Structure formats: structure tokens, C-alpha cells
Amino acid sequence: MTRTPLPAVRLGTLATGIVLALAIPHAAIAAPAPAAGGVRLLAALESAAISAVGVVSGVERIDARAFGATLVVETPLVAGKPVDASIAEDTPIQFVWEERAPSRPARFANGDRILVALEPLPGDSVWLTRIPEPSARQRTFYIAERGDAFLRRPALGTVTILEHHLALSPRDRRGAAGVVQLANLARGAASPLALDAIGALGAIPALDAKLDRTTSAWLVEALVRTDATARVQQAMLELIAERRLRSLEPVLEERVRSTSARSRPDGSPELADPLVYAALAALDVEIDAATLTGLLEAAAPGHRLALVRASRDRATLRDLARNDADPSVRAAALERFVTLQPQSAAPTAIDALYDRDPIVRASAAAALARIGPAAVSDLRRVVNDDSQPAGVAAIHALREIQPEGTRALFEIAKTSPDESMRAAARLALGMELVEPH
């Protein structure tokens, strides 16, 4: 595989489409689940007054929103300083949190094992009322990040990695040693912490230069891991694209070679994970024609989405935008088609406003908004047609084209013979929905 000089393009909708096409369909709507946690957990652990793994006991409701419990420390985690003698194994720590969504159950139950970052109790008046005794307030801690800096059932390996990470100096955490720990978390930690680790990697200066063969392989593992949420895979794909992680290229290519050495029942080569091809395309690595054909003919939408990211063939992209069975592929193909040559893409994008799927119509509206004033007359024509879904999508596009689109919307709001289009234009302009009489 060789690099081809493609323009740098943010993955955006396409990255999301690739991941969504691979995601497991959602189960039926169920009762609200407890808060997931994991928000900015690494930063919270680094700066918290107490960071520890422990077992929850004594959960009790304080008032309509606040809860309290005891954490019996199992493993103290220390950010680059000696363990406080008062925070050792079996130490009981009083902590509290708020449930901001009243419909959610309490996020912890007795017996839960959690990793948590705790900070001193806020000094605002509501906590003075909830815990009036000054000595009790001094002994009580609050979960950092407004109650979200925790992880459920942390694996032993994850805790060990975090211990190594926190033992590094702040400077070393942003160097090669920190990259080792973060890459290890990205490939193996539970989804909330893996996602946080990927975000931390994105903030490291000169990240690509700090990757070796091992950490590059770990990041590819993080990209294709099937035990994480789709958001983790999406974040990894965006990291590779935005930080231009060329150190991953040999690892990605090896995955393609080792997979293609195996044959499918029809004799054609096996295909690697779609995200491998998407990552190669994001790095501007040219994919050979035979592989592109295999991606085009693949049954899995994710492989066709990977083809969209890699292809510069406008005829193929136009055909996929119009005819692919999967709406995420149609939307992504349209986005790529418009990106490659926006000045001549308006007719295809206009056609996509009539697509049966709202995802594609929204993608078409966004594409036409990028094309700008040159698309206004075509959008006006769509509004005047009899297709309400297409007309509404056209109005969304006009709203983003300033000032020509705004002028068109004022005219539509006043003169369109279709009441629903008048109402949609007024809504787009922020006007009252009820027409004056």
C-alpha cells in the first residue's frame, strides 16, 4: 500500500456512520439505568483529594436528590505522592453524591465495588443544610466531576495500570511513559475509562513521535475491540485521523495482509475489520483496486463505508449515494462526493433531499449548506414541490446559508402556497408559528 495525496478531511459524519453500522442494535426501551460515570476520570484521579478502589456500604438517601454512603478502601491510588497514612486498606470514607436526573435510581448499592475520585465536600448552602454538623462535613467527601468520576467493577489489570500512570510525574504522563499507560487503558479498560484515555492521548503533544511498535499495536487493538462501545471505536478513528498517527500504518497493513491471506468460501480474500480500512484511508494510504472491489461488494455496511472513505471515484460515490441499501452508506457517500468536488455536486445533493431516510436527507441538507448561495435557487424549487420531507430538509439547508438563504426563508414564510412550508420557514427563522389573521 502507498500513500495517495488526498486532502485532509475530518471524518465527522462518516466516522460516526462507520461505527454505527457496526454497532449492535439497541434493545427495547427499558427503565432508566444508574448513571454510567467515567467522565474525565483520569484528570479527576490525578488531582483528587482521595483516589481509591473500594466497596460501597451503608447507602442512604439524604434528601430528594442527595445520597450518602461509606467506601471501605481496598486499594488507595496515589498521584505521585506517598500514601496518606489515614487512607489505607480497610479505611472507611464517608462520601456523597447527587442524582441530577430524578428518574434514575441511585448510582450505587451496598456491595458495589468501584473506583472513585473524591474531593472535599462543596461549601455551598445546600450541603450546610444536608450535613449541618461541621465535623461531619469535614469527614465527608464528594465524588469529583459532579458525581461522575467513578468506574464500576474495575478490573485488577486496570487498577494496576492506573497505579503506574498515577505514579508518573505530570511531565512524564505527557511523554512516552504516559502514552504506554494510556494506550494500555484504551485497549483494555472498560468503555468509560477507555474513552477517557483516548481523549487524554489526543491532548499529548507530538503523539505520533511517542508511539513505538507496541503502543501502536495497542492502539489498533483499541480501534477494533469488540467488547467496547461504538463510541470508543469512533473516538479511536477520530484520534488516528486528526493526529495523523502514521506509526499505526505498518500495524494496520499487517492486519490487512494477514487477513487477506485467508480465503472466503467463494475464493475471494477475507476482509479485515472495516475500521482497519477506514483508518488506512484516514492516513491517506492508497488501498489497492482488488481490495476496493471487495469492499464495494461486501455485505457488511461497515466495509462499504470504509470504501467511501478511501474512494476518489466520483461515479462510484454517486452510485452509492443514490442506490446503496444502507442509509448510513448513502449519507456518507454523499458527504464524500460533495467534499471531493463541491462546485458540481449540487444536483446529486438535491436528489438526496428526496431520499426515504431522514439520515440521508439531513446529510444532503448539510452538504447543500456547505455548497452555499449557488444552491439557493435549487433549494427554493424543492420547497415548492409536493414532497414535504424534502421541503423541510431544504429549509434546514437554507437556514445555514447567510444571508441569501435567510432572504429566501422570509419569502417562503410569506408567500408559499403550502401552509406546512410556511410554518417550517417561520420556525427556521424563529418566528411565531401561528399565522396572523
Quick check: is 86 in a domain? yes
pTM above 0.85, yes or no: no
Q: What is the reported pLDDT for 8?
A: 33
Query: Residue 134 in 3-state DSSP?
Result: helix
| 292 in the same domain as 220 | yes
Quick check: is 127 in a domain? yes
| 79 in the same domain as 217 | no
Q: How far apart are CA 367 and CA 381, in angstroms?
A: 17
| 225 in the same domain as 88 | no
Of 98, 128, 148, which marks where a domain is finished?
A: 148
Are the C-beta atoms of residues 366 and 338 closer than 8 Å to each other? no
| 165 in the same domain as 128 | no
Q: How many CB atoms lie within 10 A of CB 31?
A: 7
| 134 in the same domain as 50 | yes
Q: How far apart are CA 339 and CA 7, in angstroms?
A: 10
Q: Give CA 188 to chain center in angstroms.
A: 17
**How buried is 264 (Cβ within 10 angstroms: 0-12 exposed, 13-18 middle, 19+ buried)?**
exposed
The closest alpha carbon to 190, from 232, 147, 218, belongs to 232
Cell of 283: 492516513
Q: How many CB atoms lie within 10 A of CB 167?
A: 16
As for how many domains the chain has, the answer is 3
Of 310, 330, 359, which marks where a domain is finished?
A: 310
What is the domain range of residue 74? Answer: 41-148
DSSP code, position 262: S
Q: How far apart are CA 184 and CA 338, in angstroms?
A: 38
Quick check: is 378 in a domain? yes
Q: What is the reported pLDDT for 30?
A: 53
Q: How far apart are CA 220 and CA 54, in angstroms?
A: 32
| 12 in the same domain as 142 | no
| 178 in the same domain as 101 | no
Quick check: is 162 in a domain? yes
Q: How far apart are CA 12 and CA 234, in angstroms?
A: 10
| 201 in the same domain as 167 | yes
Residue recorded with cell 508511539 = 211
| Domain containing residue 363: CATH number | 1.25.10
Q: What is the reported pLDDT for 84?
A: 52
| 300 in the same domain as 169 | yes
**How buried is 132 (Cβ within 10 angstroms: 0-12 exposed, 13-18 middle, 19+ buried)?**
exposed
Are the C-beta atoms of residues 373 and 399 closer than 8 Å to each other? no
Quick check: is 212 in a domain? yes
Q: How far apart are CA 203 and CA 207, in angstroms?
A: 8
The closest alpha carbon to 50, from 25, 75, 21, 19, belongs to 75
Quick check: is 316 in a domain? no
**How buried is 9 (Cβ within 10 angstroms: 0-12 exposed, 13-18 middle, 19+ buried)?**
middle
Within the chain, what is the greatest distance between any pair of CA atoms?
78
Quick check: is 28 in a domain? no
**How buried is 95 (Cβ within 10 angstroms: 0-12 exposed, 13-18 middle, 19+ buried)?**
buried
| 75 in the same domain as 5 | no
Q: How far apart are CA 328 and CA 280, in angstroms?
A: 20
Q: How far apart are CA 283 and CA 243, in angstroms?
A: 10
| 401 in the same domain as 367 | yes
Q: Which residues are CB-contacts of 24 (< 8 A; sequence separation ≥ 6)? A: none
Of 260, 295, 310, which marks where a domain is finished?
A: 310
Are the C-beta atoms of residues 193 and 107 closer than 8 Å to each other? no
Quick check: is 211 in a domain? yes
| Domain containing residue 104: CATH number | 2.40.50.120
pLDDT in tens, the chain (437 residues): 544 332 333 344 444 454 544 443 444 445 677 877 877 899 999 989 999 999 999 999 999 899 999 999 999 987 645 445 467 788 899 999 998 877 778 899 999 999 999 999 887 778 999 999 999 998 999 999 989 999 999 999 999 999 999 999 999 999 999 999 999 999 999 999 999 999 999 999 999 999 999 999 999 999 999 888 889 999 999 999 999 999 999 999 999 999 888 877 766 788 999 999 999 999 999 888 888 899 999 988 999 999 998 888 999 999 999 999 999 999 999 999 999 888 889 999 999 999 999 999 999 999 999 999 999 999 999 999 888 999 999 999 999 999 999 999 999 999 999 999 999 999 999 875 544 44
The closest alpha carbon to 233, from 20, 7, 4, 13, belongs to 20
| 193 in the same domain as 139 | no
Q: What is the reported pLDDT for 432?
A: 53
Q: How far apart are CA 364 and CA 335, in angstroms?
A: 8
Q: How far apart are CA 119 and CA 150, in angstroms?
A: 12
**How buried is 391 (Cβ within 10 angstroms: 0-12 exposed, 13-18 middle, 19+ buried)?**
buried
